[in-house]
Amino acid sequence: MSYVTAAAGLRTALVGLRTAGGLRAVLKGQPGTGHALPLAFLEADNGIRSIAGQLTVNTYRIRVSVLVAFQDNVLAEDALEPWINDLPAAIDADATLGGAVNIAQVVDWTADYFDIGEVKTRRAFFTVEIKDKSAYRGGE
Protein backbone atom coordinates (compact mmCIF):
# COMPACT_ATOMS: atom_id res chain seq x y z
CA MET A 1 0.00 0.00 0.00
CA SER A 2 1.30 3.43 -0.89
CA TYR A 3 1.11 6.64 1.11
CA VAL A 4 -1.50 7.87 -1.38
CA THR A 5 -3.71 4.86 -0.59
CA ALA A 6 -3.19 5.29 3.16
CA ALA A 7 -4.08 8.99 3.11
CA ALA A 8 -7.14 8.39 0.92
CA GLY A 9 -8.35 5.65 3.29
CA LEU A 10 -7.95 7.98 6.26
CA ARG A 11 -9.84 10.81 4.53
CA THR A 12 -12.66 8.40 3.68
CA ALA A 13 -12.86 7.21 7.30
CA LEU A 14 -13.05 10.79 8.54
CA VAL A 15 -15.81 11.71 6.10
CA GLY A 16 -17.99 9.45 8.26
CA LEU A 17 -17.54 12.01 11.04
CA ARG A 18 -19.25 14.61 8.88
CA THR A 19 -22.57 12.97 9.62
CA ALA A 20 -21.97 11.42 13.03
CA GLY A 21 -19.72 14.06 14.57
CA GLY A 22 -20.77 17.23 12.84
CA LEU A 23 -17.64 17.93 10.79
CA ARG A 24 -18.51 20.26 7.96
CA ALA A 25 -15.50 19.40 5.79
CA VAL A 26 -12.53 17.03 5.57
CA LEU A 27 -9.77 18.71 3.59
CA LYS A 28 -6.46 17.64 2.09
CA GLY A 29 -3.93 20.17 3.40
CA GLN A 30 -4.41 23.38 5.36
CA PRO A 31 -7.38 25.54 4.48
CA GLY A 32 -6.39 28.81 2.85
CA THR A 33 -9.60 30.67 3.55
CA GLY A 34 -12.42 30.55 6.04
CA HIS A 35 -14.64 27.48 5.97
CA ALA A 36 -17.61 26.36 7.97
CA LEU A 37 -16.40 24.97 11.29
CA PRO A 38 -15.78 22.46 12.67
CA LEU A 39 -13.56 20.97 9.99
CA ALA A 40 -10.67 18.55 9.73
CA PHE A 41 -7.64 18.64 7.47
CA LEU A 42 -4.89 16.12 6.80
CA GLU A 43 -1.17 16.69 6.22
CA ALA A 44 1.78 14.36 5.77
CA ASP A 45 3.86 14.33 8.97
CA ASN A 46 6.69 11.78 8.71
CA GLY A 47 7.40 8.12 8.17
CA ILE A 48 9.76 5.20 8.50
CA ARG A 49 10.64 2.59 5.89
CA SER A 50 12.50 -0.56 6.83
CA ILE A 51 13.37 -3.79 5.05
CA ALA A 52 14.02 -7.09 6.79
CA GLY A 53 14.57 -10.13 4.61
CA GLN A 54 11.70 -10.25 2.14
CA LEU A 55 9.49 -7.88 4.14
CA THR A 56 9.01 -4.13 3.66
CA VAL A 57 7.49 -2.16 6.52
CA ASN A 58 6.26 1.35 5.80
CA THR A 59 5.03 3.46 8.70
CA TYR A 60 3.21 6.60 7.62
CA ARG A 61 2.34 9.34 10.08
CA ILE A 62 -0.41 11.72 9.05
CA ARG A 63 -1.42 14.76 11.08
CA VAL A 64 -5.16 15.28 11.34
CA SER A 65 -6.20 18.69 12.64
CA VAL A 66 -9.71 19.39 13.90
CA LEU A 67 -10.59 23.09 14.00
CA VAL A 68 -13.43 24.63 15.97
CA ALA A 69 -14.53 28.25 16.17
CA PHE A 70 -12.79 30.47 18.70
CA GLN A 71 -15.06 33.24 19.92
CA ASP A 72 -14.65 32.68 23.61
CA ASN A 73 -12.23 30.35 25.38
CA VAL A 74 -14.90 28.40 27.27
CA LEU A 75 -17.04 27.90 24.16
CA ALA A 76 -13.99 26.84 22.14
CA GLU A 77 -12.96 24.30 24.79
CA ASP A 78 -16.51 22.96 24.97
CA ALA A 79 -16.52 22.50 21.18
CA LEU A 80 -13.06 20.89 21.09
CA GLU A 81 -13.33 18.50 24.03
CA PRO A 82 -15.50 15.80 22.37
CA TRP A 83 -13.02 15.46 19.48
CA ILE A 84 -10.27 14.34 21.87
CA ASN A 85 -12.03 10.95 22.10
CA ASP A 86 -14.37 10.97 19.09
CA LEU A 87 -11.68 11.14 16.41
CA PRO A 88 -9.55 8.27 17.82
CA ALA A 89 -12.73 6.24 18.40
CA ALA A 90 -13.73 6.67 14.74
CA ILE A 91 -10.37 5.31 13.61
CA ASP A 92 -10.40 2.50 16.20
CA ALA A 93 -13.84 1.44 14.91
CA ASP A 94 -12.29 0.67 11.51
CA ALA A 95 -8.55 0.31 12.10
CA THR A 96 -8.01 -0.99 8.55
CA LEU A 97 -9.75 2.08 7.10
CA GLY A 98 -12.12 -0.02 5.06
CA GLY A 99 -9.39 -2.49 4.10
CA ALA A 100 -7.12 0.22 2.65
CA VAL A 101 -4.36 -0.33 5.25
CA ASN A 102 -3.00 -3.01 7.58
CA ILE A 103 -3.61 -0.97 10.74
CA ALA A 104 -4.17 2.67 11.68
CA GLN A 105 -4.19 4.19 15.13
CA VAL A 106 -3.99 7.58 16.80
CA VAL A 107 -0.70 7.67 18.70
CA ASP A 108 -0.81 11.20 20.15
CA TRP A 109 -2.59 14.53 20.11
CA THR A 110 -1.88 18.15 20.97
CA ALA A 111 -4.03 21.26 21.13
CA ASP A 112 -3.22 24.84 20.16
CA TYR A 113 -4.64 27.80 18.27
CA PHE A 114 -4.68 28.07 14.48
CA ASP A 115 -5.48 31.04 12.27
CA ILE A 116 -7.11 30.79 8.84
CA GLY A 117 -6.49 34.26 7.50
CA GLU A 118 -8.27 36.53 9.97
CA VAL A 119 -10.29 33.69 11.53
CA LYS A 120 -8.94 32.40 14.84
CA THR A 121 -9.68 28.77 15.69
CA ARG A 122 -8.92 26.29 18.44
CA ARG A 123 -7.28 23.12 17.15
CA ALA A 124 -6.63 19.58 18.27
CA PHE A 125 -4.18 17.78 16.04
CA PHE A 126 -3.74 14.05 16.10
CA THR A 127 -0.91 11.92 14.80
CA VAL A 128 -2.36 8.90 13.01
CA GLU A 129 0.18 6.14 12.49
CA ILE A 130 -0.49 3.73 9.64
CA LYS A 131 1.57 0.55 9.23
CA ASP A 132 1.93 -1.44 6.05
CA LYS A 133 3.77 -4.76 6.12
CA SER A 134 4.14 -6.55 2.83
CA ALA A 135 6.48 -8.54 0.63
CA TYR A 136 9.53 -6.57 -0.50
CA ARG A 137 8.71 -4.27 -3.40
CA GLY A 138 11.56 -1.90 -4.17
CA GLY A 139 10.48 1.70 -3.74
CA GLU A 140 7.14 1.13 -1.98
The model's pLDDT over 108-139, given as tens digits with 9 standing for 90+, comes to 999 999 999 889 999 999 999 999 888 876 55
The model's pLDDT over 60-110, given as tens digits with 9 standing for 90+, comes to 999 999 999 998 999 999 999 999 999 999 899 999 998 888 999 999 999
Q: Hey, is 77 helix, strand or coil?
A: helix
Domain of residue 105, CATH code: 3.30.70.1700
pTM here is 0.89
DSSP one-letter string for 79-101: HHTTHHHHHHHHHHTTTTTTTTS
Cis peptide preceding 31, ω within 30 of 0: no
Query: In terms of residue numbers, what domain contains 110?
Result: 3-135
The structural domain count of the chain equals 1
